[in-house]
């Protein structure tokens, strides 16, 4: 299936670079599947070039039909929701300290988010881990 996106033909590249485009409107927080995207032989700066880098990721902003999927508009699927209570972890060598926090942002594995320590009410930053906990402090 060949799709032509006229406004973006200005970016055509003789080197044959590929760009991933959306088949339909993808609202924010949509997990992108194989039927949602296609590759076209165009070079669009800042856009994803490989389907494997897009499928299974989450749209962070709305991606419109027949528009390129920009690197900045997708991310890891969210595993921590805003206002969710999450375990906070601090690790330094053999020392591991855990506490409870409330997420102030949404985030997927590897994302840097703000968390409020529920005991001290202090707002800190941490990195979301694959299990949904958040690593905080200088050891992250």
What CATH number is associated with residue 63? Answer: 3.90.1210.10
Is residue 1 situated within a structural domain?
no
Q: Which domain holds residue 25?
A: 6-75
Q: 33 is written with which tokens?
A: 């599947």
Residue 108 resides in a domain:
yes
Number of structural domains found in the chain = 2
Q: Full-prediction pTM beyond 0.95? A: no
- Domain final residue pick, 75, 98, 116: 75
The chain-wide mean pLDDT, for the chain, equals 88
**Using 50, 70 and 90 to split pLDDT, how confident is the model at 122?**
very high
Q: Does one domain contain both 50 and 99?
A: no
In the chain, DSSP finds a helix count (H) and a strand count (E) of 0, 11
Contact 23, 68 (CB under 8 A): no
The domain boundary, picked from 44, 60, 75, lies at 75
């Amino acid at each position: 299936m060949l799709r032509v996106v006229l406004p973006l033909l200005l970016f055509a590249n003789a080197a044959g670079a590929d760009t991933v485009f959306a088949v339909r409107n993808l609202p924010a927080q949509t997990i992108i599947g194989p039927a949602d995207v296609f590759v076209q032989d165009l070079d669009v700066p800042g856009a994803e070039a490989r389907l494997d880098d897009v499928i299974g990721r989450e749209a962070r902003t709305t991606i419109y039909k027949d528009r390129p999927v920009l690197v900045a508009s997708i991310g890891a699927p969210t595993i921590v929701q805003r206002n969710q209570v999450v375990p906070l972890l601090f690790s330094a060598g053999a020392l591991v300290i855990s506490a409870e926090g409330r997420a102030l942002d949404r985030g997927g594995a590897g994302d840097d988010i703000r968390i409020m320590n529920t005991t001290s009410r202090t707002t800190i930053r941490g990195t979301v881990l694959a299990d949904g906990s958040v690593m905080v402090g200088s050891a992250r």
